[in-house]
Structure 1
Amino acid sequence: MENVSSLILIGTVHRDPHGYKKLFHLLSEIKPRIITVEISPYSLSFRAKHVPEIRRILRENLRRMKNEDSLSLKEIISHGAVMSIFCLLKDPFEWQAAKFYAQISNAYLFDIDLSVYAQEKLAYLAELVSLENLKSLYKLPSRSFFKEISAQYAKANHLFHNPPKIWPVTKEILEREFYMAEKIRQIFKSNEGVIFCHIGGWEHLLERPDGKSLFHLLQDLNPQRILLPNN
């Protein structure tokens, strides 16, 4: 019997405010039976246990800024850096959209990123929402959060069609690329004949000069690569 398995890699710009709607729509069109997401078990556990309290501290410190510096909450929250923190504290839209799609379609959903690096990064969240840090960020020039997201999509689209000749790669990135590739390969080969989607940051799907991006490592599975649209 002919193998009709299909692996589709969906590249996203993390923290896209409109990402949930776009991704859910795309998944509804593709109709995958298996979905993997670039998120770690530790990240999901940490967010469920600790982020509500971190959000409370953030709101409290924003009120203190308002009172101490005679600012309106609207002024503070509209600052690009502060808005970025709010988006960071939300569950990633990639996981939210995939989870909801899986619930209504009975698709299988897997979190496949390495926990060790998520643990290091999430440890800084409490410091990020401290009053001192918020005041420091507010003093910086405010860049439009939405324009930054659009710029990331433009950059991703360009590099998908014009692979970079130079691209810095860290030990962390390499370890995560190989780890996620192996996870995807194991799940893919155990579920032949179904549509399989992986969702993750667009940088992992580049044709990098080192030849070790997630996209490269999965070439034997003949993946299709899609960039989430910027609209």
Structure 2
Amino acid sequence: MPNTRGSDLAARLKAARETLGLPSQASCRQLQEAYHRLGRQHHPDLGSAAGRIEATERMKRINAAYEVLKHYMEQVPIPLEPDPDQLAAFDPEAWWRDRFATPLRPPMNRRPPGVPPLPAATDGARHNPEPPSRLILLGTVHHDRAGFRRTLCALARLRPDRILLELSPFAWAFRQRHGARLQRTLMANLKIICRRHRVPLARALRHPEIQLIQRQLALPFEYRAALRYTRQTPASLLLIDSSAASSAYLKTWPELIATDNLARLLLPCEPNRRDSVTGQYRQAERLLDQARIQDVPPATRPPAAAGSAREGYLARQIECAMAGPLPYRLLYLGGWQHLSPQPNCLRSLVAAHRPRIELLNTF
């Protein structure tokens, strides 16, 4: 049989070069320059509302052509998930380097190239001198039952070109490798507690704290929604949280699903988890509008997001993403506590980019 794989690849590369207007021997630098130039010309947010649909389709073709040529030039595979057979020997840090082979650049104090200029004022019209922010910070409550649906709605409305997710490669790999076993252990221990204290299993499974543990052991709704969005659009997904911080946190999970802890959670009458989600969003709405944390009463201040070291790590990842040759709009998706106006929190550390702040419950 004739080998059509090579001919298909050659046809895709030729079509991608024609879309971007590149010669057959174009370099990576020429590819990035062409991509930025076409992005400034055809991005749907920069044209009129009447031509937005056509501009969106054109930008999708440009993004697709750029991804084809970039990954071919760098010879980087683009699987969304590794082979399950390789999970036993999985190295999260090596996967991170291989998955996103382009080296992260050091932070820059100036705005990166590629942000299109505003049109010149005409007929006395005045324009905002600041271009729209490339960075959106979207805060969530991690145990929000409606989080998956809300995240899909938010992504559809905000239309980011790249999602920076508060999930580490280590935490992703740990859940992939051990999540099912931990869920089985949780269920077995829960049955023991139900028999010991004569609590119906169905009632225990409806307990908000047990449901919270089940969601915690699974991949978070933010990841599942972002992955679906990237599979349906040309957007990409980056996991930017610290693997070192995640590994320290995940060591507490065996204790979390132990019988003693489950018994403590089941026997007292706990408040409804839905109310606590609503309360956290209300607290976030009050605090995120504050210009300075000193203006907030100490009793209502949010807890530390996980220490200044982790906040600095997240901020550096965002700075590097902003400095690199990346798409026009980036969205950070993570817990709302990172967006509080405290000096050591993520929002303050990336304030130079004038990020747009959003909460998930508004979608």
Structure in which a larger fraction of residues adopt strand: 1
2:140/2:359 contact within 8 Å kept: yes
In the alignment, which of 314, 319, 324 is matched to residue 180 of structure 1? 314
CA separation in 2, counterparts of 1:31 and 1:172?
A: 29
2:334 is matched with which residue?
200
Q: Kindly report which structure 2 residues correspond to 1:97-108, keeping only aligned pairs within 5 A, or say none.
A: 97-108=225-236
Deviations 1:150-205 (A, max 9, x none): 11111111111235324587695211111111111111221356111011111111
Q: 1:84 aligned to 2:200?
A: no
Q: 1:141 aligned to 2:269?
A: yes
Offset at 1:54?
0.5
Q: 1:217 aligned to 2:349?
A: yes
Offset at 1:5?
6.0
Equivalent position SS for 2:271: coil
1:75 is matched with which residue?
203
Of stretches 85-94 and 39-48 in structure 1, the one that deviates more from structure 2 is: 85-94
Compared CA separation, residues 230 and 136, structure 1 to 2 (3 A): farther
CA separation in 1, counterparts of 2:325 and 2:156?
A: 20
CA separation in 1, counterparts of 2:312 and 2:303?
A: 13
Compared CA separation, residues 144 and 168, structure 1 to 2 (3 A): closer
Deviations 1:17-49 (A, max 9, x none): 100110111101111111101111110011111
1:156 is matched with which residue?
284
2:77 is matched with which residue?
none
1:5/1:196 contact within 8 Å kept: no
Of stretches 146-155 and 135-144 in structure 1, the one that deviates more from structure 2 is: 135-144
2:303/2:337 contact within 8 Å kept: no
Of stretches 154-163 and 101-110 in structure 1, the one that deviates more from structure 2 is: 154-163
Compared CA separation, residues 176 and 130, structure 1 to 2 (3 A): same
Compared CA separation, residues 185 and 144, structure 1 to 2 (3 A): same
Q: List runs of 5+ in structure 1 lacking aligned partners.
A: none
2:141/2:277 contact within 8 Å kept: yes
Equivalent position SS for 1:229: helix
In the alignment, which of 165, 170, 182 is matched to residue 42 of structure 1? 170
In the alignment, which of 179, 188, 195 is matched to residue 51 of structure 1? 179
1:150/1:230 contact within 8 Å kept: no
- The TM-score, its normalising length taken from structure 1, stands at 0.91
Compared CA separation, residues 198 and 168, structure 1 to 2 (3 A): closer
Compared CA separation, residues 87 and 171, structure 1 to 2 (3 A): closer
CA separation in 2, counterparts of 1:169 and 1:145?
A: 19
2:358 is matched with which residue?
226
2:133/2:353 contact within 8 Å kept: no
1:4/1:193 contact within 8 Å kept: no
> Which one has a bigger Cα radius of gyration?
2
2:139 is matched with which residue?
11
Offset at 1:216?
1.1
Offset at 1:79?
2.5
Higher relative contact order (CA 8 A, sep 6+): 1
CA separation in 2, counterparts of 1:84 and 1:35?
A: 25
One-letter amino acid of the counterpart of residue 169, structure 2: P
Compared CA separation, residues 172 and 66, structure 1 to 2 (3 A): closer
Compared CA separation, residues 74 and 168, structure 1 to 2 (3 A): closer
